[in-house]
Amino acid sequence: MSRRTPSSDPEPRPEAMATEQSTARVRLVFADEGTFHAETVVVPLERLRDYERLIDLLREDASVTRQIYIDLKRLVSASVLDEEA
């Protein structure tokens, strides 16, 4: 099984795509047994603006949690890469 390094910029997984037109790409970095790997997911921009903290959106918003599972125990970093209208 190959691992991605945090320096790579993977394409968002199709199953993690948001259905709304306006979206934001979010880069998630996970620690996995001493190594790090990044995933890029897409979240609805409208919902992103409703939360003061990105972590709250990722763990509480039903429109996000229905689309993707995020292992919060291994999550090291989450950051918005861009916002698309």
pTM > 0.85: yes or no: no
Domain boundary assignment for the chain: 14-84
Q: For 3-62, what is each residue's pLDDT tens digit?
A: 444 445 555 554 444 443 699 999 999 999 989 999 999 999 999 999 999 999 999 999
Close Cβ partners of 47 (under 8 Å, ≥ 6 residues apart): 20, 57, 61, 63, 64
